[in-house]
Chain A
């Protein structure tokens, strides 16, 4: 089944404790992206990757890191999480970019205390 898999689904952590949210897709997609979704603010792009080893900032990249060492994986790293990073996070992928169908993961609900 074609899918984007995120882990974990739920995560509670404390300020300053490094964490990684994993994202993997099995569709051989070149484009991958991370979004955060907050009430009243909608979906905002954090980082995106057009292909392996190519990443770029989205609208709200501060406090986040990403890497794209393999085509299928695009982990999101929070080196020193803060409470304002409490949010619902989605990973998404498509064949070549945003003008094609984006496939979203099921989301990761992160709470930073």
Chain B
């Protein structure tokens, strides 16, 4: 079982839809949870960052962490064509005295006008 699992999609939704992106993980040592967004031919950029279980909201984006189920989600409300990108979950843990960041493989999202 991989440490971090993310459905690669692709996911195609109409403009205005609510989008749910998810990752599961197997190692309870992960403590910090992030979502990065990557546009085509660009580097990833940090979208959301959470530490504890629960929800964190930023505009149309909500990040949810459920440590008991080892499950994280990113919700996008009122999705826009400009949200079309690949979304990468990432989570970090302490390993061998240093911090290690593990990325999911990414979910490609297309929002159709």
Contact = CB atoms under 8 A, between A and B. Distances in A.
Contacts of B32: 99
Most buried by A among B36, B92, B101, B106: B101
Nearest to B49: A101
A95 to B, nearest CB: 13
B99 A99 contact: yes
A107 B45 CA distance: 12
Nearest to B51: A99
Contacts of B42: 106-107
Interface in B44-82: 44-46, 49
A42 B106 CA distance: 7
Interface residues of A, number: 19
Interface in B88-113: 88, 92, 98-101, 103-106
A32 interface: no
B10 interface: no
A42 B105 contact: yes
Interface residues of B, number: 20
B29 to A, nearest CB: 13
Contacts of B44: 43, 90, 102, 104
A104 B103 contact: no
Contacts of A50: 98
A98 B46 CA distance: 11
A90 B43 contact: yes
Interface of A: 4, 40-43, 45, 50, 56, 90, 92, 97-99, 101-102, 104-107
Interface of B: 8, 32, 36, 41-46, 49, 88, 92, 98-101, 103-106
28 contacts: A40-B105, A41-B105, A42-B103, A42-B106, A43-B44, A43-B103, A45-B101, A50-B98, A56-B98, A90-B44, A92-B43, A97-B99, A98-B99, A98-B100, A99-B92, A99-B99, A101-B46, A101-B49, A102-B36, A102-B46, A102-B101, A104-B44, A104-B45, A105-B43, A106-B41, A106-B42, A106-B43, A107-B43
